[in-house]
Structure 1
């Protein structure tokens, strides 16, 4: 039986095909360039790990010592292969952002006596209904009798709202693992440090929440097992596709991945690009033609109605077809949101006609007026609310004997 993780479950939820490539087929890919954001995050994590690792050995680091360490691991691990996507930012921008994260954290939490650190970058195992999951905790603290804290460091440039943390699955799974590891873990707080913002976000899950989480996790795993049994892993398009490492293999992305960065002359010479461009051209031409035809038909419809009124006819004959023209003038009452609507409702209620018209179906009211089923006195009072509108229905049919 495989060992699952939050990231493995998320891979399936985001795109079953990506899950298949990564965990079923285990496709080997060329090493993808590391992003500068990921590089900076690792260096900050390493620096904070040193801070608490030294404290566990009774060594107190100064801020300058930590910043020197950060600079050292940055330089030691730096490679020109690290990818910078944002052209408005430089390596120095990211390096200084990481330094600021470390400095802000140090100032906020020094002298770091909020709790006793038990584990750093430690694996945690979670057993749910016979399924095994695992993850890694950035830091686990004991803050008092039976009170634990799971800490997670983030260098993301986005700060989610509280509901995100209250629904987060990853740290909640770690909470289940911690409670299995230490039976005295009566309360476990989940703590996220959004270092770029110098913000601490917290959440705490009740036993009922954890039970619902377990059921949800089991449901996802069962979906995965069913997909593996049928080998059914459809692709799921989303904004995440732009960052997927399997774009060159995915049927929804592989053509774009193949031609997206070609020079213009090669791009326009690709057979797929030619087909799409020609299809788009014909589609737009058809759309423009339909719009022109709709406009012409509307003008012709107006001419037919005018002819029927002028000649006093309801059927107009052609060579082998005929048009039936049905013109009606209907009463129209104020609709919902109209200024006179409330006054109309009060009138109907005072006249005792409200029950028959329910919540004022103006179509039913117009029908009752046409069929002369309302009290004459009420009709007289209703007239001030009535406007008229003309409706016309035109039906084209074959002349008898011509449609055989």
Structure 2
């Protein structure tokens, strides 16, 4: 006699792979990099800090800290002060360059607070969302668990909006917001987690003041989920085969290109070193 809840008709329940947008993007860019970041232990040698990553983290942390304050204290001046409090110099060429970008970052967040409504409370800031999902839609059997941390989730006119802050050289457009897999997956996970519609996604580029927005349809979300499913299945198979004694180089092949110049694992990848010259730690800063 079977126990209630454990009768699978002679079949084992399907094992769901947990994936984040970062893991999926890393695997698609270069399977070897994925292996070094998430599979190999101990973790291979990495590069030092990158100035653009430091700058992005400072701005994100300052805006998060701003939302921790009461609404009436979310002023441009306080936002600028929080940049100073959160500041790190890691990855910059020298103290002069670090100071110059600290001042720029203060200006970015000051302008951002002046232009945007930060009084209305968001649904979440740096909110972790996690939910089973499938490209077959809400009613389909789940094929994976998508999860991650959204910069901000707003509620506008009864619907959720995913907001992602950007501080890099590239100025996004609406098509970039629509094609961003991370934003689409956050929208699906937020919809399931918070039980509210979520179609709107936005990239907020602080250096330029650009807001690149897009509205997803069920079909566009399904396409992103299908792409994620395929990558999740490939990385799961590669990891499982490796654990059974498979060849790491064959299962996680290197995929070289311009990105090898600023790959975190460049010191541990001879193929990447040959494929492209090393970037300086500050080369990807917004001009």
Q: TM-score range by the shorter chain?
A: 0.7 to 0.9
The reply on whether 1:237 has 2:256 as its aligned counterpart is yes
- How far residue 19 of structure 1 moved from its aligned partner, in angstroms, is 1.5
- Aligned twin of 1:84: 92
Cα pair 1:14 1:236 within 8 Å, conserved = yes
2:231 counterpart of 1:226: no
- Which segment is superposed worse, 230-239 or 199-208? 230-239
The Cα RMSD (Å) is: 2.5
1:250 aligned to 2:255?
no
Paired residues for 1:66-85 under 5 Å = 66-74=79-87, 78-79=88-89, 82-84=90-92
CA distance in 2, matches of 1:144, 1:150: 14
Which deviates more, 193-202 or 218-227?
218-227
Q: 2:205 aligns to what?
A: 194
> Are 1:42 and 2:42 matched, yes or no?
no
Q: Which ranges of structure 1 fall in alignment gaps of 5 or more residues?
A: 261-404
Structure of higher CA gyration radius: 1
Q: Which has the higher contact order (CA 8 A, sep 6+)?
A: 2
Q: Give, in whole Å, the separation in 1 of the partners of 2:253 and 2:46.
A: 25
- Equivalence map 1:316-355=2 (5 Å): none
Q: State which of 174, 181, 196 in structure 1 corresponds to 2:193.
A: 181
Aligned length: 246
- Is contact 1:140-1:151 (8 Å) kept? yes
Structure-2 change in CA distance of 1:16 and 1:31 (3 Å): closer
Q: Distance in 1 between matches of 2:259 and 2:273?
A: 15
Give the TM-score normalised by the residue count of structure 1. Answer: 0.56
State the shift of 1:30 in Å. 4.8
Asked whether 1:120 is paired with 2:119, we answer no
Q: Distance in 1 between matches of 2:268 and 2:168?
A: 29
Separation in 2, partners of 1:108, 1:255: 46
Could you say which structure has the higher helix fraction? 1
C-alpha contact 2:131 2:146 (8 A) present in aligned 1: yes
Distance in 2 separating the partners of 1:48 and 1:106: 9
SS in 1 for 2:189: helix
User: Deviation string for 1:60-84 (max 9, x for gaps)?
Assistant: 332222222222222xxx35xx222
